[in-house]
Amino acid sequence: MILTVATQPFADQKPGTSGLRKKTTVFQQPNYVENFLQSIFDSLENFAGKTLVIGGDGRFFNREAIQKAIRIALANGFGRIVVGRGGLMSTPAVSALIRARQTFGGIIFSASHNLGGPNGDFGVKYNIGNGGPAPEKITDAIYARTMTIAAYKTLDAPDIDLDALGVVALGAGSVEIVDPVANYSALMKTLFDFDALRGLFASGFTMRFDAMHAITGPYAHAILEGELGAAPGTVVNGTPLPDFGGHHPDPNLTYAKDLYDLLMSPQAPDFGAASDGDGDRNLIIGRGQFITPSDSLAMLAANATLAPGYAKGLAGIARSMPTSAAADRVAAKLGVKAYETPTGWKFFGNLLDAGLATICGEESAGTGSNHVREKDGLWAVLLWLTILASRRQSVAEIARQHWATYGRNYYTRHDFEEVDLAGATALMDALRARLASLPGQSFGALKVEAADDFAYHDPVDNSDTPAQGVRVMFEGGSRIVYRLSGTGTVGATLRVYIERYDPPGGDLGEEAQAALADLIALSRSLAEIEKRTGRKEPSVVT
């Protein structure tokens, strides 16, 4: 039986960079998740009888949210709901399944790299029929709807057993519980030569994959150890836990420090990688050699044709604006177009759909391709393994050759997390007010060439997205970028992205923080970070 439940709007349901993210306790309020889901369905048309995929990263409140979503989606007229067993499915696997089954869309419950648990964060995101995050036109409509909603529809029905594979009837439709890994694993086999990868591990190649107690555990166990013959124990922290073991499931040098320390030690395996809460990010570390996500994008793009799925070459390469320009140099050499988009994977969807770009990436440890419409952590690992299997060189040798050919973009991101929102907003306003006066000014040896607030024009749908971050560009290819995060849940997080280009033959040394020291100091003074946020040092450096 369909129930119509009266409700009233919450004022805080504005989707950010990647859906709606809030403290779990906010999501647990009566009607909170129901309102947002109903607002999603109210913003969509012509889905009666169609199929919806629902997945989650397994964090605390995942099962409850999925039960609610199943009832609300069926009450709104969807015909079939496809759910990963246990309510689990990684973000790239949801994207892959939407595409494989040509479903109407999907719902992903995740707050990605944010802490989980009762005191952590929760999130929800709607993905469209191409498998990618809903574009701004839809997220704006959803937000508008959340402000006027007066009722939601649901079913008067018991919970579904999320752990039993198979189809059960519910309301006027049905729910299908599927193995969350099977379709994803099959897709990977179409892109990569699994025999060659098996050969790599059979030759004695060793790696560690840290799933950070999050969603990629089952995928990595099945593919790396199961299919490819990596030694048992290759995957660590491979069982998804509702609180991610109390850790941030964020694969960076701060939260995956154990992995970094191992790869820098005498006991280092050949290769190390990690993924995040929902499986769309990747961290790549070779023995003794960390690869920045921006460099990883460039190196993957430069070598992509070694994988069968990309043997015909790349149509183009896209990166988010704060991502280093390393990938642009590869695009130039390949003679393909380089695209620069705002932060967030939703901006890559049109480029991929239109066949303008094949590989995309973000400095925040996200890389992916046209195989899905999300970034994909394990995909990046398999492409790296393909390159290592084919070139028979170490990660460090591949990096050194890359820099010798293209030059090196030294890169770091400094995050000032959970600072006062008013102070951070004032900091950005003050920077914006100075933009016109910066070009031509010199700060020591650094001369400003241009400064702007990044605006994106989508070449496919001609939409415009203004105010995506302040860029200060210096002569010689150095750059400081400032923007406020759209995924935090407390106060504001100021992200400062710092980059310096060193042409082939140059050598600023191994230490990025040292190679960027003058730019880092300038990034602080230019934006008056200490005065406006009260913080002398960033909370996270990646």
Phi/psi at 334 (nearest 5 deg)? -80, -10
Q: Which residue is nearest to Co ion (CB)?
A: 112
Amino acid at 162: L
- Please state, in angstroms and rounded to a whole number, the distance separating the CA atoms of residues 133 and 365: 18
Among 13, 18, 296, 341, binds ligand VG1 (CB under 6 A): 18
Among 146, 343, 367, 412, binds ligand VG1 (CB under 6 A): 343
Cα 396 from chain centre: 25
Taking the least distance from each CB to ligand VG1, the nearer of 173 and 249 is 249
Using an 8 Å Cβ cutoff, are 111 and 277 in contact? yes
Interface with ligand VG1, residue 364, by CB under 6 A? yes
Q: Are strands 479-484 and 470-474 parallel, antiparallel or unpaired?
A: antiparallel
Supply 522's token pair: 């300038």
Residue 394 a catalytic site member: no
Site string for ligand VG1, 365-394 (x = CB under 6 A): -x----------------------------
Among Co ion, ligand VG1, none, partner that 362 touches (CB below 5 to 8 angstroms by kind): ligand VG1
Taking the least distance from each CB to ligand VG1, the nearer of 364 and 523 is 364
Q: Which residue is nearest to ligand VG1 (CB)?
A: 112
Residue span binding ligand VG1 (CB under 6 A) among the ranges 54-62, 159-167, 257-265, 339-347:
339-347
Taking the least distance from each CB to ligand VG1, the nearer of 297 and 515 is 297
Out of 43, 90, 95, 112, pick the active-site residue: 112
Instruction: Give the H or E element holding residue 396.
Output: helix 395-406
Interface with ligand VG1, residue 346, by CB under 6 A? no
Taking the least distance from each CB to ligand VG1, the nearer of 42 and 276 is 276
Site string for ligand VG1, 279-318 (x = CB under 6 A): -xx-------------------------------------
Interface with ligand VG1, residue 415, by CB under 6 A? no
Burial class (CB in 10 A: 0-12, 13-18, 19+), 362: buried
Query: For residue 147, how many other CB atoms are within 10 A of its CB?
Result: 12
Among ligand VG1, Co ion, none, partner that 495 touches (CB below 5 to 8 angstroms by kind): ligand VG1
Interface with ligand VG1, residue 487, by CB under 6 A? yes
Task: Report in angstroms the alpha-carbon separations of 404 from 32, 60, 336, 397, 478.
Answer: 53, 47, 21, 10, 18
Interface with ligand VG1, residue 345, by CB under 6 A? yes
Among 344, 349, 368, 538, binds ligand VG1 (CB under 6 A): 344
Amino acid at 427: L
CA geometry: angle at 156 spanning 152 and 161, to 5°? 110
Using an 8 Å Cβ cutoff, are 475 and 447 in contact? yes
Using an 8 Å Cβ cutoff, are 298 and 333 in contact? no
Supply 371's token pair: 């195989």
Interface with ligand VG1, residue 216, by CB under 6 A? no
Among Co ion, ligand VG1, none, partner that 477 touches (CB below 5 to 8 angstroms by kind): none
- Please state, in angstroms and rounded to a whole number, the distance separating the CA atoms of residues 316 and 198: 30
Q: Least distance to ligand VG1 from the beta carbon of 323, Å?
A: 8
Phi/psi at 50 (nearest 5 deg)? -85, 175
Just list the catalytic residues: 112
Q: Which residues here bind ligand VG1, judged by CB under 6 A?
A: 17-18, 112-113, 276, 280-281, 320, 343-345, 362, 364, 366, 485-487, 495
